[in-house]
Chains A and B, each alone.
Chain A
Amino acid sequence: MLWVDKYRPRTLDKIIAHEEIAQNLKKLVSEHDCPHLLFYGPTGSGKKTLVMALLKQMFGPGVEKVKLENKMWKIDAGTRTIELELTMLSSTHHVEMNPSDAGFQDRYIVQEIIKEMARNRPVDTKGKKGFKVLVLNEVDKLSREAQHSLRRTMEKYSASCRLILCCNSSSKVTEAVRSRCLNIRVNAPTEEQIIKVLEFIGKKENLQLPPGLTARIAAQSNRNLRRAILSFETCRVQQYPFTINQALPPLDWEQYVSEIASDIMKEQSPKRLFSVRGKIYELLVNCIPPEIILKKLLSELLKKLDSELKHEVCHWAAYYEHRMRLGQKAIFHIEAFVANQSLVQMEPVSSFDHLKDSLCASFSRISYV
């Protein structure tokens, strides 16, 4: 078992990084009335850990006996039936799933599957009616329709089920959903907290820690606790006993992105653009989300650019990040950003002008046809 999983705090008492939140949650459970919850915060900050600990506090160790199911759902959507495959993790007390995996059909999941689960109410051994907990991940990636149906489900079945939502950014969750939940912000742990956790693990594993290693790992982890622990364990696998200036294992995709960035800076030509495209494809095949590629690419570029250009590049990155959300094919937008980048230095032309021109032209054409 990976250290990340092995040393994951199982109960609310043992949580190191977010003690205050843990205490509050504990109070919430002791009052036997748990509202819908919305956990939000950056990745690797401990949202999931908090949720699992909370569930254990509520239902006891039963929640840890989970099974993974891959189920086909047939959904009758008026004129046609839609088949959806959905992976879910369930115990007797809770069900966990990623509704946004269904892509643009996510609203059917919310409307049908979640409703179905929310409807049947578990009865505990004493005959008392309990409630079921649905843990939904990545709620911010749900489409608007899906979020609206989620709101409806929340209202209607609030007696028999509780929803725990997890997401990175609460701004992408509609106000209607947010206002029906108790919002819990989970901060990224500070570097001191990360160091504390790493040292705790080191003590448990009986490791000799050279001074400064944990600090370096924490600094490189970008305040992502999961990443810190993973790279700590990798260090351990690579070389033990630790040396003082031990190299930290880099993430291959991050290096790859920085390679792309230096490619871009070196030369700008259609040929180069084409090779960059190939590299981005490589990353996409490995399931690196396009948003993350773009973000990392930007940060790599910012390291290399003059300070006057930084503003402009950021602007375009934001612009194409937005387009990526609007559009379907991420590669189009990443490539447009990559191609655009060099031009910022020469002459910024507003893309809106082009768009307007071409739209006008095409509309007038259509009206003739």
Chain B
Amino acid sequence: MSSRRSLFLSIFPPNSPTPPNPLLRLGFSMRKRNPVLVLSSSDEEGNGVRGCATSDSRCSSSRVSSSASAARKRPRGRGSRKNLHSASRDRHVVEFDLPSEEFCDHLHDLSKTPGITQTDKKELWTEKHKPHSLADLAVHKKKVEEVKRWLEERMKAPKEGIENCVLITGRSGVGKSTAIHVIASLLGADLCEWMSPTPTLWEEHVHNSNSGIQYMSKLDEFESFIEKIRKYSLLHGAYAEELRKPTILLIDDIPVTKGRASFSRLRKCIKTLVQSAQTPTVILITEYHKTEPVDSATEFWEELESSIEQAGAYKVAFNPITENSIKKTLTRICQEEKCDVPAQWIDHIARVSGVPSDTHGELNYGSPSLFLTRSSGDGHTNPQISLPWGRDEKITLFHALGKFLHNKRETPPALAPDLFTLKKKYARNPLKMDAPEEVLLQAHGQARTITDFLHENVLDFVSDEATDSGWVVNSYLSDADCILASIVHPKFCRITETNESDSVRELVAASVAVRGVLFGNSHPSPSRWHTIRTPKHWQIEQTSRHSKIQMLPERFATYRTSSFCSLSSIATEYRPMIKWFYSPVNVHAHDNISESLHREDDMDCTDGSLEGKKSEESEEDDIEDW
């Protein structure tokens, strides 16, 4: 079995429960371009520390035996340092064992829970309580059955001409890879995974390019891998001695691309894979885009999915895990670990890990937090306290805006034995929400957007009698705008200032805007239903920019001047005056000016300059006839 997780364990001592400490990571980054070592690209490695060249030679020795089978299906053929110092191997292993043991010791210190045997905790619970049978899986039975049937069919009769690909989609943590692993072991098939390379750091790249090693992106690697298995059917060759045992190819980690060109390359790649696959192939796609609404890559993933489907893959979508099945699993773990956790805690963990709007059912998340529950508390603390290790609860921007605009406050306490009393006009009751800055953080709002939205909508929420609120609010918004402007505008930004100060400034600006609104809106209007509008001035800005661009050529074409004239004078002098030429109505009849402004606008946009010129000329003719 060569899953991602077990591979990880084969390199570390099997009982090391956590990502390696810096010393270990150093070793890995040194050897990352070594072709024989198998590392997964999961985040355990990758951020290596540079600068210790002495350990390089030792680290370059490789441990073939431990991961030989996996190494062979490694797509990379470039062998830079293939000679193996098997002599130094033992020393090497010792070196690896040492720090990880230390690390384990530290971990033991962390969890001083009575009543648990020490040996129990050498594995993460996500590893330890990994489902081993179909019944254990939290995924919906039907879906699992579907995948299983499909795989069985394919393995029984590997027919030619039939699409050998299945695509499984689902949010992160719903158990896609786990399900595949369980099914594979159930069917007695070997699971081969494409191991994506370790990401290269920029410093590493600089270092490597000096030594002549070429950089290869993940996409490049993937491409060459696909090419290879297509041409040489490498998987069969690698497993020639055990041909009878069927294999399943698992592609878990599709490279993320940026830009059209690389995306089309990836698509082509996957298409060839789907169409030419000899062995049953499983492609997993995590639907990040559905959990992260801000992610701009939505269309990318959707397009990829649809293109895989078009190529003929069979698609199975895993639904998010329900809260109940998370609870069931957690309870099972609790029973196995023989610890009594209050039911509320389990409920809470299940709820937090499966907030309906946000991240649907993440089992990966559930069990670590249960582990933490166990290790930190003695199980009898107040269940009311919120779990400090909970995932950040996210709220939408509109939710946050609603909070700010409605400005709900506590009723004033009966007695206020303050050290000093504020003047009445400065005094406000305490807010019925978290600190505004925290709400802002949860809403992931950008300062500019928040300010604009507040500006657009705040007046609806101010009661009509409160005349001064409008000003206070507006003066704060104007402050916020000034602070914000200095970020984007390089005009007032000194060169020495760095990005950090900008981000602080953005925080300050957002906070000034929000607190200004909260403070200024001292008499909020009685709460009722309000719609929140998008800021109108976005649209206004756009149209005015558009008409600005139009103005100058228009003037030039129409009146053949030989020099520029400033836009403001066109807007304030030429255009209003010229309008009188076109509409020779009585000067006194200008009741609704706004309409005339509109009319002029329409005319300018639709007629174009030519017609305008004509009408002017004809008018002049009329006058001369007089």
Interface residues of A (CB under 8 A from B): 1-2, 5, 43-44, 48, 51-52, 63-64, 66, 68, 70, 85, 87, 89, 96-98, 101, 104, 107, 135, 137-138, 143-145, 224, 226-227, 230-231, 233-234, 236-238, 240, 247-253, 255-256, 259, 268-271, 273-274, 277, 279, 281-282, 284-289, 292, 320, 323, 326-329, 331-333, 335-336, 339-340, 342-343, 346, 351, 354-355, 358-359, 361-363, 365-366, 369
Contact = CB atoms under 8 A, between A and B. Distances in A.
A251 B576 contact: yes
B124 interface: no
A229 to B, nearest CB: 9
Contacts of B584: 237-238
Nearest to B469: A270
A359 B577 CA distance: 47
Contact of B577 (A249, A284, A329): A249
Nearest to B540: A281
Nearest to B562: A64
A358 B584 CA distance: 55
Contacts of B566: 43, 98, 137-138
A227 B573 contact: yes
* Most chain A CB inside 10 Å of its own CB: which residue of B481, B540, B557, B579: B481
23 contacts: A1-B559, A2-B578, A43-B568, A89-B556, A144-B492, A237-B580, A237-B584, A240-B626, A249-B587, A252-B597, A255-B590, A270-B462, A271-B464, A323-B481, A328-B489, A332-B478, A335-B474, A336-B474, A358-B479, A359-B508, A362-B511, A365-B435, A369-B438
Interface string B475-513: 111110110111011111000000000001001100110
Interface stretch (B73-81, B403-411, B543-551): B543-551
Interface string B126-160: 00000000000000000000000000000000000
Given A271-B459, A287-B567, 18 more contacts: A5-B560, A64-B562, A66-B562, A101-B548, A230-B578, A238-B584, A247-B587, A268-B467, A270-B460, A270-B463, A284-B541, A286-B544, A286-B547, A327-B484, A336-B477, A354-B479, A362-B515, A366-B507
Given A87-B553, A104-B489, A237-B619, A289 B577 contact: no
A327 B504 contact: no
B56 interface: no
A270 B470 contact: yes
B568 A329 contact: no
Contacts of A332: 455, 474, 477-478, 481
Contacts of B467: 268-270, 342-343
A240 B571 CA distance: 27
B594 interface: yes
A74 to B, nearest CB: 19
A101 B570 CA distance: 14
A291 to B, nearest CB: 8
A35 B515 CA distance: 54
- Chain B interface residue count: which class? 35 or more
A354 to B, nearest CB: 7
A335 B472 CA distance: 11
B278 to A, nearest CB: 45
Contacts of B482: 323, 326-327
Given A98-B567, A286-B597, A362-B508, A354 B472 contact: yes
Contacts of B455: 329, 331-332, 335
A249 B561 CA distance: 24
A269 B478 contact: no
Nearest to B521: A270
Contact of B587 (A44, A145, A238, A270): A238
Contacts of B597: 252-253, 256, 282, 286
A240 B474 contact: no
A91 to B, nearest CB: 8
Nearest to B551: A287
Interface in B423-477: 435, 437-438, 441, 452, 455, 459-460, 462-477
Given A137-B564, A143-B490, A355-B479, A288 B572 contact: yes
Contacts of B551: 287
A354 B547 contact: no
A219 B455 CA distance: 40
B95 interface: no
B contact patch SS: helix
Contacts of B85: none
Contacts of B473: 339
Contact of A333 (B478, B484, B515): B478
A358 B590 contact: no
* Most chain B CB inside 10 Å of its own CB: which residue of A1, A135, A329: A329
A336 B577 CA distance: 31
Given A104-B489, A286-B547, A328 B512 contact: no
Given A252-B596, A336-B475, A104 B437 contact: no
Contacts of B485: 326-328
B205 interface: no
Nearest to A255: B593
A340 B553 contact: no
Nearest to A67: B556
Nearest to A232: B577
Given A137-B566, A327-B485, A273 B459 contact: yes
Contacts of B601: 285-286
Contacts of B471: 336, 339-340, 342-343
Given A237-B584, A251-B576, A329-B481, A89 B563 contact: yes
* Most chain A CB inside 10 Å of its own CB: which residue of B437, B519, B567, B580: B580
B619 to A, nearest CB: 7
A97 B490 CA distance: 22
B574 interface: yes
A43 B574 CA distance: 13
A285 B552 CA distance: 16
A358 B600 CA distance: 44
A191 B552 CA distance: 29
Contact of B590 (A98, A252, A359, A365): A252
Contacts of B578: 2, 230
A64 B40 CA distance: 71
B587 A289 contact: no
Contacts of A68: 552-553, 556-557
B586 to A, nearest CB: 8
A58 B61 CA distance: 80
